[in-house]
Chain A
């Protein structure tokens, strides 16, 4: 990023005046939305003309999303009772699993990354754990916890923990030795050194790990709900609609999941920007 910031001004001629730049930005936004609206419009027309059951027109999908989940009373934030039954359990499990993975990953990662020996000792095992495709382990959790929320949280947490752990360890390990010397000269104690020096310098790597973990957590949230034997959640809605060949609900659930994924990713990026600052994001 920093390289980009350095080279960009050389390429552009003179800095454009503010109104021109604002107009260019407005053009960009307009173009983006125009193309999106156009794409949706073409889909709408094509779907209507073709009348295929498999690809319902977007306006029907949108209406179905609204009917299914968002026509509740205002004091429930417009959430219908189906939304409370589907979305909240999914989100709750995802949040619990991801939070567990993040905390465990950062704590263990700092512990492993602080010592060269501990890093060397654990690295092969960690690399193997990360290489296992997470869905493969879900049947084990099904045996241990039976179907239900604990199994799902365990699957999410166990899958999402490795990227945070490995990235945190790598980030902590690469703390600038010069700064560590300075910390020693200043006689910072271990806690101070961790808080003021090691964690901030590892933060970009930690967030790189967290981003990967968040996508894994979302995938595992859906995957653990798609398995036969679950009782609620967005994934359950999906499988149920699939067995009934209710394509409209399948599409509606996809739209909902896409929106959730977008919101969660955007939220994490916003936190990252807050904590790291614009200039130092990796």
Chain B
């Protein structure tokens, strides 16, 4: 019964994708919108497939993904230890709260001009911006997760004479791990946004965003822009899918929708 329902939903989803594709195709072919605004969906998809044979485009994707991975990795290396510190030492948390609350609401894209002036318009700038923006979701989820650790588990360990660090490593870190993983998943999407945004604004070099920016400047370049968007969306979906799968494999006991936790979902 449930299996049947799942299959029905799968078919409906496929139908929805086909419908969306058909509407885009028809609107363009019927001349309801100009072709330079919205090329037929088949042409966009055809171009997207064609791009897989284009070594320059593939190199660009590689460059973007490398910056993405470096930035996200750096953000994890900063945010997880910092979150553990803030979450387990209340005094530090209180003391730094005002600074954190003042830094967080700044829209990260606004830092692009400053960081470009400081570091030039290369990979360093991109990685720095990506990691700045990706730090926050991981940091807040880590602090929130530490607060959610079962007090009984901690007390039990303490009663058996384990020290502060041992409690952190044996009880709090495992209990927080699912929250950290969810934070990383949110940050992965943020990092992709920053990677593309920085590349579009810097305008030269290599990368997915640069491909999109240059296609946008060309006459009738919308087809190429949209083909780039298809790839960007696919990357986003694959990254998210892999991370969700990993979370389910590693932490099968946790309920879903961790992103609602503690307001950590803000960008």
Interface residues of A (CB under 8 A from B): 3-4, 7, 10-11, 28, 31-36, 39, 54, 116-117, 120-125, 127-140, 142-144, 204-205, 208, 211-212, 215-216, 218-219, 221-223, 226-227, 234-235, 238-239, 241-242, 245, 247, 250-251, 253-254, 257-258, 261-262, 264-265, 282
Contacts and interface: CB of A to CB of B under 8 A. Distances in A.
B20 A125 contact: yes
B260 A282 contact: yes
Given A131-B237, A208-B265, A136 B98 contact: no
Given A208-B265, A219-B193, A254-B111, A54 B229 contact: no
A32 B94 contact: yes
B267 interface: yes
A140 B222 contact: yes
B196 A135 contact: yes
A117 B12 CA distance: 7
B16 A121 contact: yes
Contacts of B222: 140, 143
A140 B225 contact: yes
B94 A121 contact: no
Top 5 A-B pairs ranked by shortest CB distance? A139-B216, A131-B236, A261-B105, A215-B267, A242-B113
A34 B95 CA distance: 8
Contact of B215 (A139, A234, A235): A139
Contact of A140 (B193, B197, B216): B216
Contact of A212 (B19, B102, B118, B265): B265
Number of chain B interface residues as a range: 35 or more
Choose among B14, B36, B95, B109 the residue with the greatest number of A CB atoms under 10 Å from its CB. B109
B110 interface: yes
Contacts of A132: 229, 232-233, 236
Contacts of B200: 135-136, 138-139, 227
A137 B229 contact: yes
A31 B8 contact: no
B237 to A, nearest CB: 4
Nearest to A261: B105
B117 A245 contact: yes
Contacts of A121: 12-13, 15-16, 19
Nearest to B265: A212
Contacts of B267: 212, 215-216, 219
Interface in B79-124: 91, 94-99, 101-103, 105-114, 116-118
A176 B175 CA distance: 29
B209 interface: yes
B130 to A, nearest CB: 12
Nearest to B266: A215
Given A35-B96, A211-B263, A120 B9 contact: yes
Contacts of B215: 139
Contacts of B98: 32-33, 35-36
Contacts of A227: 200-201
A235 B113 CA distance: 9
